[in-house]
Chain A
Amino acid sequence: MGIVSYRRVQIVVLCEDRQQEVFARYFLKKRGFKGNITYKICPSGSQSGEQFVRDEYSKEVKEYRRQTNHLSIGLVVLIDADNNSVRKKLQELDALLETLRKPNEAIAIFVPKRNIETWIHSLQGEIVDEETKYSKFVENQSDCKPYVEELSNQCSQGSLNENSPPSLQDACKELQRILPLKDKL
């Protein structure tokens, strides 16, 4: 018959694990990204999540640049800083590319330090530092939902708690940078 359905991926989320994926999804949904999002997380039986993101990042950027000539798409990357600084992590990702990211490219990188659990514990009201390894939310990855949604509001309104970890404050700036590009998707 006359009806054809096209489901085209508009945003690729590349991240280390399921907790980062869930975090990104709640955040993007709350921010009004309604398009089709596909998630690439480190599969079981693979290398470390961090290595997976690094391996896939250059491939995804290459494909983004190839497709963006005729499609409106975006790439969102989450990678833990672990013991490194956020700046060093971003430099490491930059080094994987032939050409550096440009401001008009819808490629956003979020680097939780020490990791995504640090952010979630902070959002839940704990006083955190970026060196301690905080507990994972085993079997409760969706518990972060209300906090992530609140974070999404705070980020867009520029009202993030000033005691938030510096890496989370950097992430909010990154979000504000790409928000104007959202309308193109």
Chain B
Amino acid sequence: MLKKIYIDNFKCLVNFELKFDSINLLLGNNGVGKTTVFEALRQIQFFVLGGWNVSGAFPLSSCTRWQNVVTQRFELEIEGNGGIYEYILRIEHKAQQSYIKYEQLFFNNRLLLNFNMGEGEIFNDDNISVVKYSFDQSLSMLPAITQRPDNMKLTWFRNRMLRFINIKISPNQMDSVSEKEQFLLNQSVDNYSSWYRYISQDQGKVFELINYFKEILDGFVSFKFENFDDRRMVLNARFSSEQDKNKIVSYRLDELSDGQKALVALYTILLSTKSEDYTLCIDEPENFLALPEIQPWLVELYDFCSEGKIQALLISHHPRLIDYLVSPSGEMLGNYFFERESNKPTQVRKLDHQETEEGGLKMSELVARGWV
């Protein structure tokens, strides 16, 4: 579980720290930095997984615009593998060049990786230094490390970074055509079909998903991939005909409505990641959903989080979601209210019980009035 993030000098986040629980709701007006937290997490994830070099993930333009500081600092604290991981990354931008000043990974306060000004050092599971070498100052060291029996702690962290799903669903971009399996779901979920190909290798997951979709989509029978051309496949949703239950009517994924595609994506994510120590960061999950669909999905998510099967970070402006999550007995919830003035850094405060219990109005009404 992601326990903490620290961000300094990234867009509107300056000396910014946020601690997380199993289910978290980020509230606040537009432009106060909620989505920027998700963006920072996504950049760190891609950087650590080797998708980007430092200037791709953290260009100079990502530094806080109104201050003249050229160093950025990011920290993650993740609980798992029987302990606490702490990842620290410091970046400097000089003369149009961006480079890593240091990158460190600790497990229970003991170093696993130490990269400092071009010199890297790796420690094994017994905290003994096993190798020192010079390394490219524009890349994270983590992707280059080969998994071995004596570095399981270090590689566990890298594998955990794969298990962040960080999305804002754009149903109109969800393509039914897939070229190959993809482990990571893109921010817009446009690669849903390729991601579904990956998760459908687990037949148990597919079985559970199909049964679930049968309950929420009238007449749904199954998903089926068919050849599109010699290298691509197309994902079809198959439904039984209203008149003849044995007759199957197929629709390409992209032919479903935006709401149905969003629903398919949300439930697939929920059901296929539970019990696998995932962190789901979902920006406005309720977008595109019909009103009766919001609470059932939220209740499933709540139960999975409550049972420790998943962690969720949500951004939402929807009253149904706000009032459900900001409830009097929601101690396991991290509900945060973001505020910011123009050209000033984001301030955040946790909504405590007193704040939600003292007044006479629902939290969504207080938010709508700007009274929080």
Chain A positions within 8 Å of B, measured between CB atoms, are 1-9, 17-19, 22, 25, 34, 36-39, 41-46, 49, 136, 138-142, 145
Shortest C-beta distance, B250 to chain A (Å), equals 11
Is B328's beta carbon under 8 Å from chain A? yes
Q: List 22 A-B contacts (CB under 8 A).
A: A1-B256, A2-B249, A3-B217, A3-B237, A3-B257, A5-B260, A5-B263, A7-B290, A8-B292, A18-B327, A18-B328, A22-B303, A37-B296, A45-B358, A45-B362, A45-B366, A46-B360, A46-B362, A49-B328, A138-B331, A140-B332, A141-B306
A39 touches B330 (CB 8 A): no
A2 to B361, CA, bound (A): 42
**CB neighbours of B295 from chain A (8 A):** 38-39
A45 touches B218 (CB 8 A): no
Chain A: CB-nearest residue to B239: A3
B327 touches A44 (CB 8 A): yes
B327 touches A41 (CB 8 A): yes
B329 touches A45 (CB 8 A): no
Interface string of B193-226 (1 = CB under 8 A from A): 0000000000000000000000111110000000
A38 to B298, CA, bound (A): 11
Is B356's beta carbon under 8 Å from chain A? yes
We find that the number of chain B residues with CB closer than 8 angstroms to chain A is 41
B292 touches A7 (CB 8 A): yes
A43 touches B323 (CB 8 A): yes
Chain B: CB-nearest residue to A7: B292
**CB neighbours of A1 from chain B (8 A):** 251, 255-257
A36 touches B292 (CB 8 A): yes
Interface-centre pick from B256, B329, B356, B358 (highest chain A CB count, 10 A): B329
Shortest C-beta distance, B364 to chain A (Å), equals 9
Is B13's beta carbon under 8 Å from chain A? no
Residue in contact with B327 in the complex, picked from A34, A43, A139, CB distance below 8 Å: A43
* B101-156 residues at the A interface, CB under 8 angstroms: none
**CB neighbours of B237 from chain A (8 A):** 3
A18 to B330, CA, bound (A): 8
A5 touches B216 (CB 8 A): yes
Asked whether A44 and B292 contact (CB < 8 A) given A3-B218, A139-B332, the answer is no
A101 to B366, CA, bound (A): 37
Since A7-B293, A36-B292, A45-B359 are in contact, a sample of 16 more A-B pairs with Cβ atoms closer than 8 Å, ordered by chain A residue number, is A1-B255, A3-B256, A4-B218, A7-B290, A8-B292, A18-B327, A34-B215, A43-B363, A44-B363, A45-B356, A46-B362, A138-B331, A140-B332, A142-B303, A142-B306, A142-B307
Chain B: CB-nearest residue to A17: B329
Shortest C-beta distance, B184 to chain A (Å), equals 28
Is B69's beta carbon under 8 Å from chain A? no
Is B299's beta carbon under 8 Å from chain A? yes
Asked whether A6 and B218 contact (CB < 8 A) given A18-B330, A44-B326, A45-B359, the answer is yes
